[in-house]
A and B are shown apart, each in its own frame.
Chain A
Amino acid sequence: EAQVTQNPRYLITVTGKKLTVTCSQNMNHEYMSWYRQDPGLGLRQIYYSMNVEVTDKGDVPEGYKVSRKEKRNFPLILESPSPNQTSLYFCASSLSSPPGTGELFFGEGSRLTVL
């Protein structure tokens, strides 16, 4: 089944404790992206990747890192999480890079709480 898989789906952590949210897609997509969703703010892009070893900042990259060592994986790293990073995170991918048709395939989301 074609899908974007995120882990963990739910996480409660404390300020300063490094964490990684993994994202994997099995569709051989070139483009991958991370978004955060907050009430009243919609979906905001954190980082995106056009291809392996090619990453770039989105609208809200502060406090996050990413890497794209393999085509299928695009982990999101929070080196020192803070409470303002409490949010619902979505990974998405697209066959073409940039997503020419506009169709992004989203994962099911990872709800992160930083205490």
Chain B
Amino acid sequence: GQQLNQSPQSMFIQEGEDVSMNCTSSSIFNTWLWYKQDPGEGPVLLIALYKAGELTSNGRLTAQFGITRKDSFLNISASIPSDVGIYFCACQNYGGSQGNLIFGKGTKLSVKP
């Protein structure tokens, strides 16, 4: 099946540092999404991107939908301890018959106070 390449797999950073992670695909998608999974919980949607080139912010988080529709990045500025968790990118071609979101393998973020 289709796969997303998400990198890095893990990051260990100091509080206050900026973070960048990205996701690439060999296929074109209509929608790119970023989810965060806090320890011991289910993933929660952070940002949704629906248009190639779109740049969207949510507080300290910024994500962009690549112009080729095959990639996306997520940046976190001035990280804080509660940013710890696993970040997943996900893709979808909405309107398709299958209804599947395809998830990346995740980026595990650790923040040292």
Contact = CB atoms under 8 A, between A and B. Distances in A.
Interface of A: 4, 31, 35, 40-45, 48, 50, 56, 58-59, 90, 92, 97-104, 106-109
Given A45-B100, A98-B94, A98-B96, A103 B41 contact: no
B94 A102 contact: yes
B98 A102 contact: no
A102 B92 contact: yes
B73 interface: no
16 contacts: A35-B103, A40-B105, A42-B88, A43-B106, A45-B100, A48-B99, A50-B99, A56-B98, A98-B96, A98-B97, A102-B31, A102-B45, A102-B92, A104-B43, A106-B43, A108-B41
Contacts of A107: 42
Contacts of A101: 31, 48, 94
Interface residues of B, number: 27
A99 B96 CA distance: 10
B41 A104 contact: no
B44 interface: yes
B43 A102 contact: no
Contacts of B59: none
A43 to B, nearest CB: 4
A43 B48 CA distance: 18
Interface string B78-113: 000000000010101011111111011110000000
